[in-house]
Amino acid sequence: MWRQSSSWSGLQRTAIPLNLCSLPGREQLRRMMSLLVPFRHVFRSFTSKTDGEDRITKILKEKFPLASSLKVVDISGGCGAMYEIHIESDEFRGKRTVQQHQLVNQALKEEIQGMHGLRIFTEVPRK
């Protein structure tokens, strides 16, 4: 089982004895949630998209019609303050990474004004 450590090493592999059946209802739920909190972004990716994710996806699909892969994830926990974008498009061919990112930033110029941060990952499709 993984649990978040207060040390600088981030996540550590630790053995946590879990006998959740013996815990009272409220305590059982609290303990399960404390174990899952570090992985909330993993579980969020299986749920429906937020309005912000849909809006950004629509903008990028219009700007990059040749995109073979596009994934937008709200990594702020659903409040829309920070997004991670993975986009693979032939429009990036022949451009340096910084130029590819500039194209994405330009496409999202209006949206970025209300964000705290944006993580961009761009790729060119293999032939």
Q: Could you tell me the pTM of the whole model?
A: 0.62
Phi, psi of 122 (to 5 degrees): -115, 150
Provide the percentage of residues in the chain whose pLDDT is more than 90.
Answer: 52
Q: From CA 80, how far away is CA 115, in angstroms rounded? A: 7
Kindly report, residue by residue over 109-127, the tens digit of the pLDDT: 999 999 999 999 999 999 7
Mean of all residue pLDDT scores within the chain: 80
Written out in words, the top-level CATH class of the domain with range 51-123 is alpha beta
- Going from N- to C-terminal start, the domains of the chain cover 2-44, 51-123
Beta partners for residue 4, in sequence order = 11
Q: Measuring CA to CA, how many Å separate 99 from each of 33, 64, 78, 88, 104? A: 41, 14, 29, 14, 9
